[in-house]
Chain A
Amino acid sequence: MSLDVNKNYDMQPVLEFKSSTFFVLVLIIHSNDLMMIEQKLREKTSQAQDFFRNSPIILDVRELNQQSHGIDIIKLINLIRSIGLFPVGIRGGDDQQNLQAASLFIPVDMSQSSASSQAEIQKTVTSSPSATSHEVIKEIVVSTATTLINQPVRSGQRIYASGDLIILTQVSAGAEIMAEGNIHVYNTLRGRALAGVQGNRDARIFCSDLQAELISIAGDYKTSEDLKDITPRKPVQIYLQDQALIIKELI
């Protein structure tokens, strides 16, 4: 690709590839009853027509497959398209379903067994405990946005980030910072820092001076009592390895 660009003599690049993150609705299918799915989908989309019109959708059939309910992916995709939504991906499908999807030029998301998507699924379950089993469709917004803080986080303040959290200032004792993703503190961390709060065990905490009251990744924690031997004013990273929190100096 870069060759093509270099061949372009008038210095105007024709194209370039960039990585970018988007918010996309995930449509989790709980039933294989196409009639019911159509009815519920129409109900849901009619509530906010502007919002759903031509909206890209990622199909999630993981739960359906766990219950061993087969579904005809071609029929399902055609049904969703007929309602005015654009399926742009599928995840959680078995080999046959993935082949069916590929035949309709729907990309297959293979990363779906990773911890982060498990965390997402867990999130939808925990965030809607009142949902009944009759409900066929649930939507969630996949959030990977990064939150940046450049004001001091004072004692008693709480910050929650649904993606990564970057803090440029000090975090005081008695403050609490939480993120579903990683936490970076480019200053002294004296409060509590909890990364991967929705269960992402790959989340990490980075900070330039660890004097924290508590650090936690995906629920595994250490208190300042366990951190007594850490040299202050040294940048460190904290991660999970075999159920144990590892604190390692960054060079």
Chain B
Amino acid sequence: MARIIVVTSGKGGVGKTTTSAAIAMGLAKRGHKTAVIDFDVGLRNLDLIMGCERRVVYDFINVINGEANLNQALIRDKNCNLLYILPASQTRDKDALSIEGVGKVLEELAKDFQYIVCDSPAGIEKGAYLAMYYADDAFVVTNPEVSSVRDSDRMLGILASKSRRAELGMEPIKEFLLLTRYDPNRVESGEMLSLEDVQEILSLHLLGIIPESKSVLTASNAGVPVILDEKSDAGMAYADVVARYLGEKRPHRFIESKKGFLRKLFGGK
């Protein structure tokens, strides 16, 4: 049975696509056959982050409409042969998605894949709704900032009430928190919400903290998921996230600033 993961947030620009690419690659690298689907119809981005934009022929909407079969549309990743990408259509809009169509595609993928990662668009409209509807697990991507936290909270309400699992009265979607763009120095100076502040409002199972890092932008522009940059802090943080999701126990890193650590070492305040 495939596990369907939705990467969602409500708010835009918090790192959903970066996270989708990273965890899909992480799961595949650990030997699980994984598909990652771009639900952001009309604003296709995932193919760029994955570096496969030149190989897009057919897309998700073509498959839903029966204009192409799944094997024609799936793009095999150049770095990992267990990872496949189903790109969004750039020329259509979210209305081209239908609940039955999405269900059919996911059902077909589930026969062949162990993990299906759904990269949700921002907002709470049709695209985001359909991305989370069939999910088993939700990665809620949040920035340490009040509007992002509130939007995540809203999204959690939708996950709890409007998903297929909620409608059928099944076990609810498992919700995980991913705190991205975290900067311990700015938290210390009070410019940014701390992990505790965020958890006071969301109270979710924390899967990981991804530090604010230059390597994310570099990786995006190069079309390589940041998790493959194993020396970067963001890459290591995503590797931890995947390991924790698969059941490994790893201590959380990147919560405290290096300066803070030194200061503690020398007893200064």
Q: Closest B-chain residue to A175, C-beta based? A: B157
**Contacts A151-B160, A154-B160, A157-B161 hold; do A174 and B203 have CB atoms under 8 A apart?**
no
* A200 touches B (CB below 8 Å): no
* A216 touches B (CB below 8 Å): no
Number of B residues near A (Cβ < 8 Å) is: 12
Query: Are A173 and B153 in contact, with the CB atoms below 8 A?
Result: yes
Contacts of B161 in A (CB 8 A): 157
A155 to B124, CA, bound (A): 12
Contacts of B201 in A (CB 8 A): 170, 172-173, 190
Interface of B is mostly: helix
Query: Are A156 and B160 in contact, with the CB atoms below 8 A?
Result: no
Query: Are B150 and A155 in contact, with the CB atoms below 8 A?
Result: yes
A174 to B151, CA, bound (A): 10
* A152 touches B (CB below 8 Å): yes
Interface of A is mostly: loop
A146-186 contacts to B (CB < 8 Å): 151-157, 170, 172-175
Query: Are A152 and B203 in contact, with the CB atoms below 8 A?
Result: yes
A174 to B201, CA, bound (A): 12
Contacts of A152 in B (CB 8 A): 156, 160, 203
Query: Are A154 and B156 in contact, with the CB atoms below 8 A?
Result: yes
Query: Taking the nearest CB of chain B, how far is it from the CB of A9, in angstroms?
Result: 50
Query: Taking the nearest CB of chain A, how far is it from the CB of B221, in angstroms?
Result: 34
Query: Are B157 and A155 in contact, with the CB atoms below 8 A?
Result: yes
Query: Are A156 and B203 in contact, with the CB atoms below 8 A?
Result: no
A174 to B202, CA, bound (A): 13
Query: Taking the nearest CB of chain A, how far is it from the CB of B256, in angstroms?
Result: 26
Contacts of A173 in B (CB 8 A): 150, 153, 201
B185-216 contacts to A (CB < 8 Å): 200-201, 203
Identify the A interface with B (CB < 8 A): 151-157, 170, 172-175, 188, 190
* 13 CB-based A-B contacts, threshold 8 Å: A151-B160, A152-B203, A153-B157, A154-B154, A155-B150, A155-B151, A155-B154, A156-B157, A156-B158, A157-B161, A170-B203, A173-B150, A173-B201
